[in-house]
Amino acid sequence: MGRITYVNGSYLPEDEAKISIFDRGFLMADSVYEVTMVLDGKLCDFPGHMARLARSLDALGIPAPLDDAALKAMHRTLISRNALVEGGIYLQVTRGAHDRDFLWPAGLAPSVVAFTQARDLVNMPSAARGIAVVTAPDIRWGRRDIKTTQLLGAALAKDIARQAGADDAWFVEEGFITEGSSNNAWIITANGTLVTRHLSTHILHGITRAALMRYAAEVQMKVEERPFTIHEAQAAQEAFITSAGSLLCPVVSVDGVAIGTGRPGPISQKLRALYIEESRKAAR
Ligand code: PDD
């Protein structure tokens, strides 16, 4: 039996879950999304995801389709109806369906869809092994802080990585790493400082990034928010990515150059364990 999904107020088997061909999410990527991690059958950082969703909707002038309590109830229903223990919940809100035109009419009702994806997050093999990344030009639009479904830049960068025999791509703009194709990029300098790019319109404001910054501060680790170059990453002691899909995953090479020993380093492994432990405690 397939999953039970959510489509505009109804819980439906996945093969009955459909939206209109006139939906602007489909025609124009006029839509935003969130992926919330689920650990032990509980939601991680749900308020953070809802705050970012509200910010994304607001930036595009899409009215909020449901309040946070209704969205939380819907997420919990999807967890229980699909017996989801570990993985994520994908939520997408589009501006709505209307005959194709660039401009939309006033009062269009947003479309809302959501579904679960069961995945091993705590015991994912890539985290034990570490991932190889290659760099790719950041060809995305100028508002990467809005979590839209315009993901072709990310998909093509991941294809560049696949063709190069790597696991993922890091975007580069004007000589500096912006972020990973679907994650935030971090390095650990020789003196143990964590470095990740500062928040701006150039990157997505990762919820995992924000949580890790809080946890790192609690264990007195120094974090610097600033851009770094490919060369600085290659010379770093360690490197890693953060996202709801990977939690915190060590990066062991950048463009074929090994980082540190070329294996997941002790600081990244400690931070991953810390992140998982704190996320489990905070999950609701
Ligand atoms: N990706 N940067 C980009 C470009 C992303 O797509 C993501 C998340 C992140 C990390 O954000 P967070 O920590 O809130 O997951 C950073 C999601 C998981 C995805 O598209 O599947």
Please answer whether residues 10 and 22 qualify as being in contact, where contact means their C-beta atoms are separated by less than 8 angstroms.
no
For residues 74 and 227, what is the distance between their CA atoms, to the nearest angstrom?
A: 38
Helix runs in the chain, H state only = 24-28, 46-60, 68-81, 125-129, 152-163, 207-218, 230-234, 266-282
The tens place of each residue's pLDDT in the chain, 284 residues long, gives: 699 999 999 999 999 999 999 999 999 999 999 999 999 999 999 999 999 999 999 999 999 999 999 999 999 999 999 999 999 999 999 999 999 999 999 999 999 999 999 999 999 999 999 999 999 999 999 999 999 999 999 999 999 999 999 999 999 999 999 999 999 999 999 999 999 999 999 999 999 999 999 999 999 999 999 999 999 999 999 999 999 999 999 999 999 999 999 999 999 999 999 999 999 999 99
Amino acid at 118: A
Q: Is 170 exposed, middle or buried (0-12, 13-18, 19+ CB in 10 A)?
A: buried
- CB-based burial label for 155 (10 Å; 0-12, 13-18, 19+): exposed
* Amino acid 272: pLDDT: 98
Assess contact for 17 and 63: CB atoms under 8 A. no
Q: Please give the Cα distance from 224 to 216 (Å, whole number).
A: 11
- What pLDDT sits at residue 262? 97
Rounded Cα gap, residues 249 and 79, in angstroms: 25
Pocket test for ligand 1, best of 182, 186, 214, 240 (most atoms within 8 A of CB): 182
pLDDT at 1: 66
Q: Is the pTM of this model over 0.85?
A: yes
CA of 243 to the centre of ligand 1 (A): 5
Instruction: Report the alpha-carbon angle 95-100-102, nearest 5.
Output: 70
The values of phi and psi at residue 31, to 5°, are: -165, 160
- Asked about 147 being catalytic, the answer comes back as yes
Cα(45) to centroid(ligand 1), Å: 13
Tell me the CA–centroid distance for residue 109 and ligand 1, in Å.
Answer: 26
Burial class of residue 149 (count of CB atoms within 10 Å of its CB; 0-12, 13-18, 19+): middle
CA-nearest residue for atom 17, ligand 1, is 182
What are the residues whose beta carbons fall under 8 Å from the beta carbon of 220, sequence distance 6 or more? none
Give me the catalytic one of 18, 42, 72, 147: 147
Q: What pLDDT was estimated at residue 221? A: 96
Pocket test for ligand 1, best of 183, 212, 272, 276 (most atoms within 8 A of CB): 183
CB atoms within 10 A of CB 201: 12
